Amino acid sequence: MSNSYFPRTALTQPPQNGAGKRILVTGANAGIGFWTSLQLAQRGAEVIMACRNMEKAERAAATIRSLLPHATIKTLNLDVSSLESVAIAVDKLQGLERLDVLVANAGVVHAPSKRKESVDGLELVAATNYFGHFALSAGLLPVLERTPGSRVLTLGSLATLLVKPRINDLQLRENYSSWRAYAQSKIMTQSFAFELDKRLKRSGSGVRSLCAHPGYSISGRTPFVAGINEPNSVKRVIDGIQAPFTQGKNHGAWPVVRAALDPHTMDENGPIFFGPRALVKGSAVKQRPARITTDSGTARAIWSEAEQATKMSLL
């Protein structure tokens, strides 16, 4: 990726100012997480890139610094599929005087064909996409509470429109499928975002919880970045055929960045949900989430599952 590309097209949406904000992005070394980190840094935010693979994290951070020499970029080792790793990261971060935004981005997109478990004995996709971020949010809530205007931002997905969750089997111990594992985990993460916002309000907290989804964003439509996004020519052609209903991950980050920085969201009633204007692609706008993700009964079951899985209480 050349410097000439960056100012022309990388960051035309959204325009919010991140100066003075400290933002933690999980899974920041590639995909939506990388472009979110880049765009937040371009807007003046200090970005903590929390990643499982520190070699990849440092490479991604160096790429951003090469484009933005004055950016404040830090890295942190974090594997959200491991509750021990989450606890270690929380211990390192809890002394921060402020944390403006927690972007819960890390996740499994291509779920394994057969059911696997995390080091904690939890279904791997749910552990990565939901349980780890539940634990991280619980651990960092004190830091967020002492930061005026702070927010927790969870990544949702269009997959929430396509399945109904198995409330009595949220870890898919029976009849596992990779597609259901991914879609159900995203229902859980999105439901968590909106339920957390309700509970924060009831507790009198000033922290907000909201959600954003990146539409249909794919690597073959994303700018080449050495060591970050390197699709081959065949991938470019195949993904290019899908151009009418896809976009690059650099554009998929727009709703995430807007949700992180939009100053008007703090005064609005929930659920607060951002996505691309044309559902699968386009500029960042507020949208209506899948009904299942705002259902109170479903939310209670999903919340209870996380408390049992993590052995942590949150609000």
Taking the C-alpha atoms of residue 216 and residue 246, their distance in angstroms, rounded to an integer, is 5
216 is catalytic: no
107: which residues sit within 8 A by CB, 6+ positions away? 27, 80, 128, 129, 155, 185, 189
Instruction: Encode burial over 12-31: b for 16+ CB neighbours within 10 A, e otherwise.
Output: ebbebebeebbbbbbbbbbb
Question: Edge to edge, what strands does the sheet with 208-212 contain?
Answer: 73-77, 46-51, 22-26, 101-104, 151-155, 208-212, 273-276, 284-286
Backbone angles phi, psi at 224, to 5 degrees: -65, 130
Q: CA neighbours within 13 Å on the CB side: how many for 287?
A: 28
Catalytic residue among 5, 130, 176, 182: 182
N residues, the chain: 315
Q: What share of the chain is helix, strand, coil (3-state, %, to 5)?
A: 45, 15, 40
User: CB of 108 within 8 A of CB of 77?
Assistant: no
Residue 249 tokens read as 């991950």
Q: Which residues pair with 223 in a beta bridge?
A: none
**Which amino acid is present at 166?**
R
3-class secondary-structure state, position 149: coil
- The number of angstroms, rounded, from the C-alpha of 77 to the middle of its chain's C-alpha atoms is 16
H helices within the chain, ranges in order? 5-9, 31-42, 54-67, 83-93, 124-126, 132-145, 178-202, 233-241, 249-252, 254-261, 296-310
- Catalytic residue numbers read 182
